[in-house]
Amino acid sequence: MPGDQDVAITTLPNGLRVVSERMNHAATVTLGVWISAGSRDEADDQHGLAHLLEHMAFKGTATRSARQIAEQIEAVGGDINAATSIEYTCYTARSLEEDLPLAVDILADILLNSSFANDELAREKGVILQEIAAVEDTPDDLVYDLFMARVFDGQPLGRAILGTPETLASFDADSIRRYLSQHYTGGRMVFAAAGAVDHGRLVDLVRKAFAPLAPGIVTDPKLSHRSRYTGGEVRRLARTDQSHLVMGFRGEPFTDGNHYPLQVLAMVMGGGLSSRLFQEVREARGLAYAIDAFHWAFTDTGVFGIGAGAAPKDVPELVRLCMHCLRDAGQTTSEEEVQRARAQMKVGLLGSLETPGGRLEQLARQVLTFGRVIPRHEVSARIDAVSAEQVRAAALTVLASPPTLSMVGPKIKSAELKLADLTASGAH
């Protein structure tokens, strides 16, 4: 497939890897720094610190105020952003090719020279408190946070990215600096760029800008502290018209390739208008407006699930129908369904790689995880290799694991909905 031959990777003396892909049709360059440290890398007393650090990076450095950071990149038509996930944190920018030196310099400045001023820290804590409150007020978001907390009970992988008001209040500038020095090291970082970029020029700019970066470690601690799927049930009462629910099972990590049948299974179950859940739950029964199946793969584990919202009176029937569809997928998934799911996956994958932003994220994450960029034809081949037999086996394996049920909404009698309904032998 076109484009993969334009990928180049260089490792700097401090361990920072620089990867880029020139996209000849692009007039802009999207660039960023990915760090193999997210919310799951926090100690118990650091819960929410990765996210707070991401916010504080834009609040001023030794040479730029928060306003100057924004004005300088926007003066050349560019933009800058950041995000914290469970396993990664990233800082990104976009600019014209001729303004690449400025974009690189700003990214280096916010990561190496942030000042963490007390007044800015206090304001940003207030902003994050509003984020936390917004999740609590959004049941279709909250139900997934509760789900992950139940799936990985008592483990960093299951904790909400935003932290809690109590942990947030305990953080100061020294807390942030300690976390920064521990995790933001050359061996755990990748600088990536895609679009109108020359690799040699990029390497020269990054080498100079990130020269002060400490080497640190290369080995990802996630691989030596594996998470454990626990399962169970959690219900949160809320005055809502709908009941929001997520049901789930143990999945597979993305590091060994065994997740592909589960990804295809998720597409067969809920990946489009022709999927089993859409046809049975919405079209045939009208039990939900939207229903989704997913497989979230992490470095060392994964989780397969189904999420939906329904009228409280319909929830027991909805759960039983979803489980019936999943059990049936373990027996009757056809080659035609799998072929359709594989095609949907490939279009989604390749479509996301047609923009510099989409390509940038894949470059960075693959180099962080695998030490290389996986060619598109290799990924497509792995998807094409998934058979109907493998998908059926994946469904049966999922059903054999302990179930998880998360719900937010009005009270539903336990007699009408039991965790046992989510087992392989539950009610049909």
In CATH terms, the fold of domain 4-223 is Cytochrome Bc1 Complex; Chain A, domain 1 (3.30.830)
Q: What is the pLDDT of residue 2?
A: 44
Q: What is the pLDDT of residue 325?
A: 96
**pLDDT by position in tens, the chain (length 428):** 444 568 999 999 999 999 999 999 899 999 999 999 999 999 999 999 999 999 999 999 999 999 999 999 999 999 999 999 999 999 999 999 999 999 999 999 999 999 999 999 999 999 999 999 999 999 999 999 999 999 999 999 999 999 999 999 999 999 999 999 999 999 999 999 999 999 999 999 999 999 999 997 666 655 556 789 999 999 999 999 999 999 999 999 998 778 999 999 999 999 889 999 999 999 999 999 999 999 999 999 999 999 999 999 999 999 999 999 999 999 999 999 999 999 999 999 888 888 899 999 999 999 998 999 999 889 999 999 999 999 999 999 999 999 999 999 998 876 567 777 777 544 44
- Can you read off the two tokens belonging to residue 79? 């933009």
Catalytic residue among 21, 54, 252, 361: 54
Angle formed at CA 148 by CA 318 and CA 36, multiple of 5 degrees: 140
Q: What is the enclosing helix (H) or strand (E) of 209?
A: helix 199-209
Q: 232-422 in CATH: which number?
A: 3.30.830.10
Q: What is the pLDDT of residue 194?
A: 96
Q: What's CA 177's distance to the chain center, in Å? A: 25
Contact between 387 and 134 (Cβ < 8 Å): no
Instruction: Report which DSSP code applies to 373.
Output: P
Instruction: Report which DSSP code applies to 273.
Output: T
The predicted model scores a pTM of 0.92
- The total of other beta-carbon atoms located within 10 Å of residue 27's CB is 10
407 forms bridges with which residues in the sheet?
Answer: 235, 245
Catalytic residue check, 337: no
Contact between 146 and 116 (Cβ < 8 Å): no
Q: What is the pLDDT of residue 3?
A: 46
- Can you read off the two tokens belonging to residue 12? 């700097």
Q: What is the pLDDT of residue 428?
A: 41
Alpha-carbon distance 176 to 156, whole Å? Answer: 18
Q: What is the pLDDT of residue 427?
A: 42
Q: Where are the domains of the chain?
A: 4-223, 232-422
Pairing of strands 404-409, 232-237: parallel
Phi, psi of 33 (to 5 degrees): -115, 125
Q: In what order do the strands lie in the sheet with 291-297?
A: 232-237, 404-409, 243-250, 302-310, 291-297
Same CATH topology for 4-223 and 232-422: the answer is: yes
Q: Looking at 64-176, which runs of residues are DSSP E strands?
A: 79-84, 89-96
